[in-house]
Amino acid sequence: MSRIIVDDSYCKGCGLCVTVCPRDVMELDQETLTSKGYHPARLTDQSRCTGCALCAQICPDVAITVFKESKGEVKADAE
Amino acid sequence: MSTPTATPTKTVAELEAHADEQVVFQRPETLTSANFSYCPGCTHGVVNRLMAEAIDELDIKGRTIGVVPVGCSVTAYDFFDLDMAQAAHGRASAVATGIKRANPDSIVFAYQGDGDLASIGTAETVHAATRGENITVIFINNAIYGMTGGQMAPTSLPGQVTQTSPYGRDTKTMGFPIRVCEMLATLDGPALVQRVSVDSPKNIRQAKAAIKKAFSYQMDGVGYSIIEVISSCPTNWGLSPVAALDWLRENMLPYYPLGVFKDAGAAPAEAETEASHE
């Protein structure tokens, strides 16, 4: 299963990640305020995240880390 | 005797990853842990990250020296885990020239905005380019002066409303925007002149490839490279970060077409790629 971590100490709530997510599983958390006073981005449904990292690509504050289910060994065998 | 190989230290993200997970995106090593001082949604941050990723991937962190301008990126020396210099307004290309000539083995980049590079630093930029200095210039074009509060820049579009053109830029009295890439491409000196944008993940990937190519040209001694990055300035354009990227696509990209305007190393590079595929 894929997931992302949004580091609230970097996120400035610009919302660019929300617009590029192809699965529409990003939103700005209106109930949380970061220490800088922004509503941070969050993943709403981890089961639908594919780990495509488009959110991280466009994040201007490099706040997002993306993890993907490891298939490294299978791939290495195939090659 | 086998020499003990250093165990690669794990990054914070790799330590946080579960056993069955791999990290597909994390903060590049060349960035420090400092928060960018840019406004929310400012694409300066994207470009800083792309440069750091390129430096990581080319493994040149230990010998790269950056020169930062006057502008919103004036404190970029805090963001890169590199040796950095801060140049007087517009003089980043000249300072980079000096650093590169004194330390020919180092990789030197100048990071400049449109007010810095295309206005006060025009002379330094044009002459560094025509001398073919073996440096890399990253040029952020967001059509406005950011740090000083939204005044008209040399690259502001015709009709664009800014603090100093409140009725829109009138080309009869304020002239036309400067297309820096087209201008520099007429010179014989530059090796790589390319314009990219960071408004979408697709364009961000292309921008990264361009920045990486510019650094690798410098490593190979091909010569001067400039990458113009079309960027947004949500704060001074008076738009939300998302609306600013829409404005960029609708207004800036038609005036500043993306593409490669000059590439001295194109032919050999392609030949090499073909040869490696065979």
The pLDDT, as a whole number, for residue A75 is: 46
DSSP label at residue B187: S
Give CA–CA dist B271/B198, Å, rounded: 29
The pLDDT, as a whole number, for residue A41 is: 96
- Domain residue extents for chain B: 36-277
Q: What's the ipTM?
A: 0.89
0.80 cut: is pTM over it?
A: yes
Instruction: Tell me the two tokens of residue B23.
Output: 């990290």
**Sequential DSSP letters for B16-57:** HS-TTEEEEE---TTB-SPPP-SPTT-THHHHHHHHHHHHHH
Which residues in chain B come in under a pLDDT of 70? 1-8, 266-278
The pLDDT, as a whole number, for residue B19 is: 81
User: Average pLDDT in the A51-55 region?
Assistant: 95
Q: Which domains does chain A have, with CATH numbers?
A: 3-67 (3.30.70.20)
Q: Give the CATH fold of the B36-277 domain.
A: Rossmann fold (3.40.50)
List of chain B residues whose C-beta atoms are within 8 Å of the C-beta of residue A15: 41, 240-242
| Chosen from A8, A28, A54, A61 to mutate, greatest number of chain B CBs within 10 A | A61
Closest CB to A62: pick one of B21, B24, B49: B49
The pLDDT, as a whole number, for residue B8 is: 66
Average pLDDT, chain A: 89
The pLDDT, as a whole number, for residue B21 is: 87
Q: What percentage of chain A has pLDDT greater than the value 70?
A: 89
Query: A3 to chain B nearest CA, in Å?
Result: 9
